[in-house]
Structure 1
Amino acid sequence: MTVTDEDLAVAAQNGDEQAFASLIARQYDRLFRLCFRLTGSSHEAEDLTQDICAALPAKLASYDRRARVTTWLYRVAVNASHDRRRKQQTHGRAADGWGDWELNRQAVIAENQTRADWLVAAMAQLPVDLRDTLALVLDDLTHAEAGDILGISEGTVSWRLSEARKHLKSLKEKEGVA
């Protein structure tokens, strides 16, 4: 007597692991071919087929013998394919926003680097006393600390910074830098 796929499915529903293994062995290639047609990729088809087989023990509870196992299994595969496609589209939409965010982040980094490069070049054109004072303050020293290092008063540090700003502003205007 030949055991049908439907008999194997019912036995697998009742916990017969051998019946489940036999059912998978009979249907795997057919299921893979359908998944390949649904996805268009052998890699995706293999993943989808494996996912379906892994979920099949739980899904077998919904099999009720009103349809052939192959018909029921095809419905499971089509639904799994649709679910995977929806998940990929949702992931793709979410990733699009991150792509824009990363592009904006990279633009800000590039703009900051351009400004820093301009400042380094502009500082080279300042008189030495103004450049030294500006360098110390840009390195997060207070006016008092910079004055101590340079051997000048805090007020002189403030005046030198003011002069350095005037020179830098003049250079920006000459170069048309924003």
Structure 2
Amino acid sequence: MRPTITMRMKTSDEALAQAAAAGDREAFDLLIRRHYDRIYRFAWRLTGTQHDAEDLAHDILAALPQKLRNYRGEAKFTTWAYRVTMNAATDRARKAQSHAKASEGWAEDYQRRAAEDEDAAAAQDWLGTAMRALPQELRETVALTLGEDLTQKETAEVMGLSEGTIAWRMSEVKRHLRDMAEKEAI
């Protein structure tokens, strides 16, 4: 004969936990009715907000059937339930902290990249301005040597000049760029 609800109400939490662990849904439901408010209040104290406490209590109740399989009855059920709630709150806080650190890392990475992009854009602007200020023959030499990644020998062949002339032009480009940078620094 199956125990009535009234009889179950007198059953200890520990016996209900053992029965719930074995798959007894009524025992599980009764445990939840008895202890939900306690779990929720403790979760609120641990998290500090109603919303987080509700989420935590919900997570605990969803995991409780699985966790009850590990309940050995060595401690009072309430003591065990407090421990489960504490562990769940600690896990949630660690995850939140981990996400915060990851987000912070992403933000720092984004800011670093944005600064690098800004620096690269400024350098590109400066280089574009500097290139336009060069005489045409020096601009052509730089465009082939650095822009097209040709060797000085290949640039000389394309331009129909000697390698020595290309080397001299590249040294002139460096001198022009140095002079421009020095003037801007003043």
**TM-score of the superposition, structure 1-length normalised?**
0.77
2:145 & 2:30 partners in 1: Cα distance? Answer: 78
The CA deviation at 1:14 is 2.1
Alignment pair present for 1:32 and 2:40: yes
Q: 1:20 to 1:121 in 2, by over 3 A?
A: same
Structure 1 unmatched runs, 5+: none
Match of 2:179 among 163, 170, 173: 170
- Corresponding residue number in structure 1 for 2:23: 15
The CA deviation at 1:161 is 0.8
Match of 2:154 among 135, 145, 150: 145
* Deviations, residues 34-82 of structure 1 (Å, cap 9, x unaligned): 3233213344334322332233234323251752x44532332123212
3-state DSSP of counterpart to 1:62: coil
Alignment pair present for 1:112 and 2:120: yes
3-state DSSP of counterpart to 2:133: coil
How many residues align? The count is 176
Q: Is the 8 A contact 1:63 1:72 kept in 2?
A: no
Q: Is the 8 A contact 1:133 1:161 kept in 2?
A: yes
Match of 2:140 among 132, 152, 157: 132
Q: Is the 8 A contact 2:20 2:65 kept in 1?
A: yes
Q: 1:118 to 1:2 in 2, by over 3 A?
A: same
The CA deviation at 1:121 is 0.7
2:121 & 2:129 partners in 1: Cα distance? Answer: 12
The CA deviation at 1:169 is 0.6
Alignment pair present for 1:76 and 2:81: no
Q: Is the 8 A contact 2:18 2:71 kept in 1?
A: no
- Corresponding residue number in structure 1 for 2:71: 62
Report the aligned-residue RMSD.
3.0
* Deviations, residues 103-133 of structure 1 (Å, cap 9, x unaligned): 4444333323222211111111110110111
Q: 1:50 to 1:123 in 2, by over 3 A?
A: same
Instruction: Please tell me the residue identity of whatever aligns with 1:3.
Output: R
Instruction: Please tell me the residue identity of whatever aligns with 1:117.
Output: D
3-state DSSP of counterpart to 1:3: helix
3-state DSSP of counterpart to 2:156: helix
The percent of aligned pairs where both chains have the same amino acid is: 47
Instruction: Please tell me the residue identity of whatever aligns with 1:55.
Output: A
* Deviations, residues 90-110 of structure 1 (Å, cap 9, x unaligned): 554565556545544443333
2:54 & 2:128 partners in 1: Cα distance? Answer: 57
Q: 1:159 to 1:66 in 2, by over 3 A?
A: closer
Q: 1:149 to 1:24 in 2, by over 3 A?
A: farther
Q: Is the 8 A contact 2:39 2:85 kept in 1?
A: yes
Q: Is the 8 A contact 1:147 1:157 kept in 2?
A: yes
